[in-house]
A and B are shown apart, each in its own frame.
Chain A
Amino acid sequence: MVGGKNASLGEMLRAGIRVPPGFAVTTHSYVEFITEAGVVEEISKILAAVNPDDVTSLDDAGTRIRKLMDKAPMPPAIANAVSEAYALLCKKCQVKELPVAVRSSATAEDLPGASFAGQQDTFLWVRGSRELLEKVKLCMSSLFTPRAISYRMKMGFPHEKVLISVGVQKIVDARAAGVMFTINPVNGDPSKVVIEGNWGLGETVVSGAVTPDKFVVDKVVFEINERITSSKTIECKYEAGKGVIHCDVPLAQQNISCLEDKEIIELVKVAKQIEDHYGSPQDIEWAIEKHKPFPFNIFILQSRPETIWSQKKKEPLLGKKTAYELLMEKALSRVKISS
C-alpha cells in the first residue's frame, strides 16, 4: 500500500525510533489517479513499443508518459485527503506551510526481491498545499523515468505490477547529516557501526560529492575506534527562493568534526535499535536537526537492509578450530617487528 521505504518509516515510528513526522499517499491513490485520468491504456501502449536497448526510444517513452500524467488532474478526493493530512501535520509541528520532503517509494507486492531503490524522484523543502500536490504528482510520474522503465524491462518485471506511493515527511533542518551502516562495509565486521557525515543535508554524503567525516564505533562497548575528520569543502543546504543548493563550507568549519561524541554514541544506540528491530544489518540515513537540543535533535530518515555482506555466504573465520588448536597456532606464531 505504501511502498517499502514508507512502510519501513512507519514501522520505525511504531518501534519508537525518532523519525520525522509525516504521512504517505498510498499506491491505491496512484491507481485511482491514473484510472480516473484515463491514461492507463495510453501508457501501456507507449510502453509496449519501447526498445529497452535504445536510449532514444526509452527517453521518448518516458517524456511522453510523464507529460501525459502532468496534464491529468488529480482526483479531488485524493487532493483533498493530501491537503488535509498536510494541514494536520502543519498543526502538529506548529509551523505554517511546514517544509516537507516528498519521496516516492515503488513497490511490487508479488515480486519479491525487486529493488527499485534510488530510481524515483525526491523533492525537498516543499512548502504549502499547492506545491505539495504538484510534487506528489511528479513523484508518481517518476515511475516512468527512462531508467526505471529500462530496469523493469531488463529484470522482466511487468510494468503494471509495479506501483508507487509517496511519502511526505517534515524536513529536518540539518546541521549535519549522512549515512551509517550497522556492519563495517569494508570488512564485514559485525561489531561495528560505521558513520559517515557532512555538514548540512545528507545529499553530499549519499552522492559522494565530498569525502565525509568517518567514525567507526564498537557497538558493544561504545568505543570510537576510528575517527577521520575530512576536509569538507562543500555542503548542501536549503535557501529560501533558491531551494536546495550546494555551497562552500566556511573555512573555519571545514576541518572540524561534524558530529560531537555524544551524538555519535546516540546514533550508534539508535542504529543498534533499528538493527535489532529488523534482525539484519541496516543501511541508515540520519540527520542532526539544527534547532533542537540533544538528544531530540537526532533523526532517522530512512533505513534499508544492508545488501553486500548480508548476502555473502557465511564461512567460519576460525576454521572450526578448538581452543587447543588455536593455542597451538598462537604458540607457533611470531610477531613481525621490522619491515
Chain B
Amino acid sequence: MAKENRFSHAREVKIPKELEGWEEMYPSHRLFSAERREWEDTQFWYQDKIHAPEPMPPLDEIFHQAWQISLAQHTTRIFCIPPAQGIAQRMVGCYMYICAITPPPEEVIKEKAELFPKRTFPVFDNYDRLWDQWLPKFQALGRELEAVKVPEELPRYMPDFDSGTTLPSVSPAQELLEAFNNSVNIMYRGWQYHFNLLNLTYLAYLMFADVARKLFPGISESAIGKMVAGAEVSMFRPEEELCRLARLAHAEPKVANILKTDRPAASKIESLREIDAGRHWLEEVDRIKDPWFYVSCGSGWFHHEGAWYNKLDVPFGYIKSYLERLDKGEKIERSLSAIAEARDALVNEYRKLIKTDEDRKSFGDAYKNVRSIYRYAEDHLFWVEHWFHAIWWDKMREFAKLFVKHGVLKDVEEFFMFNRLEVPYLIEDLATSWALGENIPTLKWSDKAQKRKKILEAAAKWMPPPALGVPPEVVAEPFTVMLWGITTDKVQDWLAGVAVRPEEVTELKGFASSAGVAEGKARVLKLLEEIGTLEPEEIMVVGNTNPAWAPVFSKIKACVTDIGGLTCHGAIVSREYGLPAVTGTGTATSVIKTGDIIRVDGDRGVVTIVKRAKS
C-alpha cells in the first residue's frame, strides 16, 4: 500500500502467483534490479497505458526498447532540450512502466541551453524541406525490411552446385540468423528516424498552448487542440480511400450488392472475382493497398492486432456501412478543406480578441511556428506505427512459419513469446540441430511458449498499480507532459485512488478533451480486437484509440479513454465528430463495466457512473 506521499516501490508490488516466471520473458536490463535500486527508488514510474495497455508479449516489446533509446537521445544528446532528460522503462508483471527522469544538474542545463537554439530553430524554418527528406528515407527503409529474405526452410541437403568451380555458399541457417539480425537492425533504425522531428513538434505545441493560456486564461485544451490540428495528413488517407472505394462500388450495383452482404470478406472477394466490374474493383483495392491498407486494426503496437490488408473483414465492414449510408443519400466523406477552413476561422476569431498589436504579433508568430511542424505528429504515426510495423509483423511471421515447419514451434503465435534477444538462441539451436545431423533434439521451445502464453493470460486479469515510487517535484520532459498528461492533479488522484476498490468509484476525472455532455450505456473495450461488439449509441470506454478506428466514431455517443491528453487520437476525432470526450482518466477501463450507465461531461473532464449494470 502507498504511504502518504509515495507509491509502492516495484519490489513491494504483490504480483499474482499465476504470473510466476514472468521475469524471464524480458531481457534482464528491462527489469527493476537490486544493483540499480538506489537510482530506481528515487524515480517516479507510471504505467504506460498509451503504448502498452495490455500485458506485453515478449517479441512485441522490441519497439519499446527501440523508442527508449531514440526518444531520449533526441531530447538529451541531439536537440538538447535544456532541463529535460529521457524516459526510462521497466517491466513489472508483464506491464510496462515509464519514468520521466528528473532534470540534470544546473551546469548541464546551461550547456544544453547553448546548443538548443542552434540545433532546433533551423528545424522549424525548414520543416517542409526536412519532411521531404524524411519520407523517402523512411519509405526506403520499409522497402528494405520488406526485401529481407527469410528462407522458407532448412533443406535436407543443400542444392547441387558446381563444386569444381565454386566454393560452398553459406547455409540457409546462417542466412536465417543474418536475416533476423538485419530485420532487428532495420527496425531499430526505423525507430531512430521516428523521433527525428517529433520531440520538437511536441515542444512547439506546448509553447503555443502556453501562449494561448496567457492570452485567454481559461481557454480549454480542446480549443487549443482545435486550433493546431491538421487536416491534410496521412492518417486521414486510409479512411478517404475507403470512401472512394465505397463510391466506386456504389456506382456498380452488382459490386455494391455483393459488398453489402453479411459474408466474410474472403467469400465476397470470391464472388467479386466472378464478374468484370468486381474484378476491376478488386484491382483498385490492390492498387492502393500498399500503403493505405497498412493501417493497423489496433495501435500498431501488438502483433495480434492485424492491419486492414490482412484483416480485410475490417475495411470491408466499413465499406458496407458506407454503402448503406450512400443508399440513404448521405454524404460519407469528411471535407478536409472544410475542416481546415473551420480551423482557420477559429484561429482568426481568437486573434481578433487579442488586445495589443504586440501580443497579436507574438501569437501569430507562435502559431506559425507550431503549424509549420505540427503535421508531423500525425504523419509520422501512419508511416512508423502503422505501415512500418505492419511490414515488421509480416516479416516476423515469415520467421515463425519456418520454426513451425521444422516442428520447433506448434504455431506462428508461439514465436511472439520470445523476446528479440532470445530469437537468435532459437535460430542457433535449430541451425545446430540441422547441422549436426539426424534426430538431434532442440530445447523444448514450444513448451516454454505455452507457459508464457498462460502467464500473459493471467496478467490480463491482473490490475497493476498505476504508478510506483516517489512523485517528482517537477517534470520537464515534453512527451510526459503532452502525451501522457502527467500533472500534479493526476498524480494526487492516483495517490488518493490507490486504496479505493474499483467498484466503489462513482466518478473519474480526466481531460476535458471534447466539449458536450452525453449519458448512455458504456461499452468497455479492453482488447483492441473487441471493437466489433460495439453497438450504436453506446459510449466507448477504451485504453486508447488510434486512427484505424475513425469510422467507429460515427456510431458512438461519447468516448472515454484511460490515457491520452488533449491531442491524443480519441480527442481529435471526438472533436471532429462533435462527441463529448474525456481522455486520460487513468482507470476507466478497470472501473467502468460494460452495461453501466455513465455520463460523460466533456466540458469539465468528468465521467460519472450513474447506474451500475447488474453483475
Q: Which of A184, A315, A317, A331 has the most CB of B within 10 A?
A: A331
Contact B220 A225 (CB under 8 A): yes
| A45 touches B (CB below 8 Å) | no
With a cutoff of 8 Å between Cβ atoms, the chain B residues found around residue A225 in the complex are: 218-220, 512, 603
Q: Closest A-chain residue to B79, C-beta based? A: A331
Contact B216 A189 (CB under 8 A): yes
| Alpha-carbon distance A218/B350, docked complex (angstroms) | 10
| B226 touches A (CB below 8 Å) | yes
With a cutoff of 8 Å between Cβ atoms, the chain A residues found around residue B120 in the complex are: 327, 331
| Alpha-carbon distance A315/B359, docked complex (angstroms) | 9
Q: Closest B-chain residue to A192, C-beta based? A: B218
If A326-B362, A327-B204, A331-B116 touch, whether A221 touches B223 (CB-CB below 8 Å) is yes
Q: A46 to chain B: closest CB distance in Å?
A: 47
Contact B223 A220 (CB under 8 A): yes
Q: B486 to chain A: closest CB distance in Å?
A: 7
With a cutoff of 8 Å between Cβ atoms, the chain A residues found around residue B349 in the complex are: 220
| Alpha-carbon distance A333/B306, docked complex (angstroms) | 40
Q: B495 to chain A: closest CB distance in Å?
A: 10
Contact A334 B211 (CB under 8 A): no
Q: B362 to chain A: closest CB distance in Å?
A: 4
Q: A98 to chain B: closest CB distance in Å?
A: 38
With a cutoff of 8 Å between Cβ atoms, the chain B residues found around residue A335 in the complex are: 474-476, 481, 486-487
| B574 touches A (CB below 8 Å) | no
Contact A316 B359 (CB under 8 A): yes
Contact B207 A327 (CB under 8 A): yes
Contact A334 B475 (CB under 8 A): yes
| A245 touches B (CB below 8 Å) | no
With a cutoff of 8 Å between Cβ atoms, the chain B residues found around residue A224 in the complex are: 515, 603
Mark out the residues of chain A between 308 and 339 whose CB falls within 8 Å of any chain B CB in the assembled complex. 314-324, 326-339
With a cutoff of 8 Å between Cβ atoms, the chain B residues found around residue A261 in the complex are: 517
| Alpha-carbon distance A107/B132, docked complex (angstroms) | 67
With a cutoff of 8 Å between Cβ atoms, the chain A residues found around residue B210 in the complex are: 326, 329-330, 333
If A220-B349, A326-B366, A335-B475 touch, whether A187 touches B220 (CB-CB below 8 Å) is no
If A337-B472, A337-B487 touch, whether A318 touches B81 (CB-CB below 8 Å) is no
- Write out, one digit per residue, whether chain B residues 510-527 have a CB within 8 A of any chain A CB (1) or not (0): 001001010000000000
Contact A223 B603 (CB under 8 A): yes
Contact B356 A333 (CB under 8 A): no
| A226 touches B (CB below 8 Å) | yes
| B491 touches A (CB below 8 Å) | yes
Contact A184 B362 (CB under 8 A): no
| A243 touches B (CB below 8 Å) | no
With a cutoff of 8 Å between Cβ atoms, the chain A residues found around residue B107 in the complex are: none
- Write out, one digit per residue, whether chain B residues 107-124 have a CB within 8 A of any chain A CB (1) or not (0): 001000100110011001
| B339 touches A (CB below 8 Å) | no
Q: Which of A184, A220, A322, A336 has the most CB of B within 10 A?
A: A220
| A216 touches B (CB below 8 Å) | yes
With a cutoff of 8 Å between Cβ atoms, the chain B residues found around residue A319 in the complex are: 362
| Alpha-carbon distance A191/B212, docked complex (angstroms) | 11
With a cutoff of 8 Å between Cβ atoms, the chain B residues found around residue A38 in the complex are: none
Q: B58 to chain A: closest CB distance in Å?
A: 32
Contact A191 B353 (CB under 8 A): yes
| A92 touches B (CB below 8 Å) | no
| Alpha-carbon distance A227/B512, docked complex (angstroms) | 13
Contact B362 A316 (CB under 8 A): yes
- Residue of A218, A317, A327 touching B359 (CB-CB under 8 A): A317
Q: Which of B214, B218, B363 has the most CB of A within 10 A?
A: B218
Contact B362 A191 (CB under 8 A): no
If A190-B216, A326-B211, A337-B488 touch, whether A318 touches B473 (CB-CB below 8 Å) is no
Size of B's binding interface in residues, CB under 8 A:
62
Contact B220 A321 (CB under 8 A): no
Q: A331 to chain B: closest CB distance in Å?
A: 5
With a cutoff of 8 Å between Cβ atoms, the chain B residues found around residue A331 in the complex are: 81-82, 84, 113, 116, 120, 203
Mark out the residues of chain B between 451 and 466 whose CB falls within 8 Å of any chain A CB in the assembled complex. none
Contact A330 B471 (CB under 8 A): no
Q: A257 to chain B: closest CB distance in Å?
A: 11
| Alpha-carbon distance A318/B360, docked complex (angstroms) | 9
With a cutoff of 8 Å between Cβ atoms, the chain A residues found around residue B354 in the complex are: 190
Q: Which of B358, B363, B472 has the most CB of A within 10 A?
A: B358
Mark out the residues of chain B between 205 and 259 whose CB falls within 8 Å of any chain A CB in the assembled complex. 206-207, 210-211, 214-220, 222-223, 226
- Residue of B113, B473, B481 touching A332 (CB-CB under 8 A): B113
| B369 touches A (CB below 8 Å) | yes
| Alpha-carbon distance A220/B358, docked complex (angstroms) | 21
Contact A316 B223 (CB under 8 A): no
If A324-B121, A338-B473 touch, whether A223 touches B487 (CB-CB below 8 Å) is no
Contact B481 A227 (CB under 8 A): no
| Alpha-carbon distance A330/B366, docked complex (angstroms) | 12
With a cutoff of 8 Å between Cβ atoms, the chain B residues found around residue A184 in the complex are: 217-218
Q: A101 to chain B: closest CB distance in Å?
A: 33
With a cutoff of 8 Å between Cβ atoms, the chain A residues found around residue B116 in the complex are: 328, 331
- Write out, one digit per residue, whether chain A residues 227-238 have a CB within 8 A of any chain B CB (1) or not (0): 100000000000
Contact B121 A223 (CB under 8 A): no
- Residue of B350, B361, B491, B517 touching A220 (CB-CB under 8 A): B350
Contact B222 A223 (CB under 8 A): yes
Q: B586 to chain A: closest CB distance in Å?
A: 15
Q: Closest B-chain residue to A328, C-beta based? A: B117
With a cutoff of 8 Å between Cβ atoms, the chain A residues found around residue B365 in the complex are: 322-323, 326
With a cutoff of 8 Å between Cβ atoms, the chain A residues found around residue B358 in the complex are: 316, 318, 320
Contact B474 A216 (CB under 8 A): no
Q: Closest B-chain residue to A261, C-beta based? A: B517
Contact A336 B515 (CB under 8 A): no
| Alpha-carbon distance A227/B210, docked complex (angstroms) | 23
| B368 touches A (CB below 8 Å) | yes
- Write out, one digit per residue, whether chain B residues 321-356 have a CB within 8 A of any chain A CB (1) or not (0): 000000000000000000000000010011001111
Q: A183 to chain B: closest CB distance in Å?
A: 9
Contact A318 B475 (CB under 8 A): no
If A221-B223, A223-B223, A337-B491 touch, whether A189 touches B356 (CB-CB below 8 Å) is no
| B93 touches A (CB below 8 Å) | no
Given A326-B210, A326-B362, 15 new contacts (CB under 8 A): A190-B216, A191-B215, A218-B218, A218-B223, A220-B353, A221-B346, A316-B362, A324-B121, A330-B203, A331-B116, A332-B83, A333-B476, A335-B476, A337-B472, A337-B487
Q: Which 7 A-B pairs have the closest CB atoms?
A: A316-B358, A334-B474, A323-B369, A330-B207, A223-B515, A318-B362, A191-B216
Using a CB–CB cutoff of 8 Å, the interface residues on chain B facing chain A are 5, 44, 81-84, 103, 109, 113, 116-117, 120-121, 124, 203-204, 206-207, 210-211, 214-220, 222-223, 226, 346, 349-350, 353-356, 358-359, 361-363, 365-366, 368-369, 471-476, 481, 486-488, 491, 512, 515, 517, 603-604
**Could you write out 20 A-B pairs with CB less than 8 Å apart?**
A189-B219, A220-B353, A221-B226, A221-B346, A224-B603, A316-B362, A323-B362, A324-B369, A327-B124, A327-B207, A328-B117, A330-B206, A331-B81, A331-B120, A334-B103, A334-B474, A335-B481, A335-B487, A337-B475, A338-B491
Using a CB–CB cutoff of 8 Å, the interface residues on chain A facing chain B are 184, 187, 189-192, 216, 218, 220-227, 261, 314-324, 326-339
